[in-house]
């Protein structure tokens, strides 16, 4: 089951997200992410957070339409992203795609990326979509990238070490290498084929795929 999460970050042109939303089976909003769902005329299944960022008129609109709101205290030991991941897992989502979770404050971006590591280690597909690139988490497995020859791809170890890393279909292939978070050298590789593969034997990777604009 595919879950799309509206985060309260930077979006740019909202129409760029229509293709991602078209495949959603569940739509969740992390607090102020509901403002963007409202702007796109999307009715979420649940809104989660401390509700300090959602605009009053947006909250009233969704309350009138019976959208459940899971409200948490503002002083809490979890971020809104962690809370929404927990709800997505309870709904048996096996693929979770965040939108509006990248850009803006660096601490928020990093927190959003690291928050998905636990569910990724349990076999969930976790990714963050931006119109210019996609950031995917990969734990002990393989990810196939679909794009165009010439697309840039960077691979970083989120765990301290990632063993048995392979990159196939790239100008600079990797074969069973060790990547360490303290030595992030596997950046700016180039896809040599429309489909390429990244795999890791043990550990968690962050894979950033920069899409080229159509000619």
Per-domain residue ranges of the chain:
1-131, 132-215
Are β-strands 2-6 and 26-30 bridged in parallel, bridged antiparallel, or unpaired? parallel
Q: How far apart are CA 189 and CA 210, in angstroms?
A: 10
Tokens of 12: 């740019």
Put the strands of the sheet holding 142-146 in their side by side order: 142-146, 195-199, 161-168, 174-180
Q: Give CATH for domain 1-131.
A: 3.40.50.10240
Fold of 132-215: Jelly Rolls (2.60.120)
Q: Where are the alpha helices (DSSP H) in 65-175?
A: 80-90, 106-115, 117-121
pLDDT digits (tens, 9 = 90+) for 19-64: 899 989 999 999 999 999 999 999 999 999 888 899 999 999 999 9
pLDDT digits (tens, 9 = 90+) for 91-109: 999 999 999 999 888 999 9
Instruction: Please check the confidence at residue 199 and state whether its pLDDT lies above 70.
Output: yes
Q: How far apart are CA 57 and CA 181, in angstroms?
A: 44
**Closest C-alpha to 68, from 105, 103, 29:** 29
Least confident of 14-18, 183-187, 209-213: 209-213
pLDDT digits (tens, 9 = 90+) for 105-159: 899 999 999 999 999 999 999 999 998 999 999 999 999 999 999 999 999 999 9
pLDDT digits (tens, 9 = 90+) for 163-196: 999 999 999 999 999 999 999 999 999 999 999 9
**pTM (2 d.p.):** 0.92
User: Which residue has 């691979």 as its token pair?
Assistant: 155
What b-and-e string marks burial along 159-172, b requiring 16 or more CB atoms within 10 Å of the CB? beebbbbbbbbbee
How far, rounded to the nearest angstrom, does the alpha carbon of residue 164 sit from its chain's CA centroid?
A: 24
């Amino acid at each position: 089951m595919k879950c799309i999460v509206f985060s309260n970050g930077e979006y740019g042109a909202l129409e760029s997200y229509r293709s991602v939303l078209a495949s959603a089976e569940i739509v969740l909003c992390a607090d102020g992410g509901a403002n963007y769902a409202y702007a796109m005329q999307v009715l979420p299944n649940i809104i989660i957070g401390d509700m300090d960022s959602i605009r009053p008129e947006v909250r009233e609109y969704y309350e009138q339409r019976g959208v459940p709101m899971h409200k948490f205290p503002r002083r809490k030991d979890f971020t809104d992203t962690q809370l929404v991941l927990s709800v997505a897992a309870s709904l048996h989502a096996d693929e979770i795609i965040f939108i509006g979770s990248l850009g803006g404050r660096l601490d928020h971006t990093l927190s959003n990326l690291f928050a998905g590591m636990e569910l990724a280690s349990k076999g969930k597909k976790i990714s963050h979509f931006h119109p210019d690139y996609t950031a995917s988490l990969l734990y002990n497995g393989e990810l196939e990238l679909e794009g165009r020859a010439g697309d840039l791809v960077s691979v970083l170890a989120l765990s301290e070490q990632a063993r048995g890393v392979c990159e196939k279909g790239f100008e600079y292939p990797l074969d069973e290498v060790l990547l360490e978070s303290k030595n992030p050298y596997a950046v700016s590789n180039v896809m040599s084929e429309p489909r390429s593969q990244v795999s890791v034997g043990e550990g968690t990777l962050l894979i950033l795929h920069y899409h080229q604009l159509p000619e």
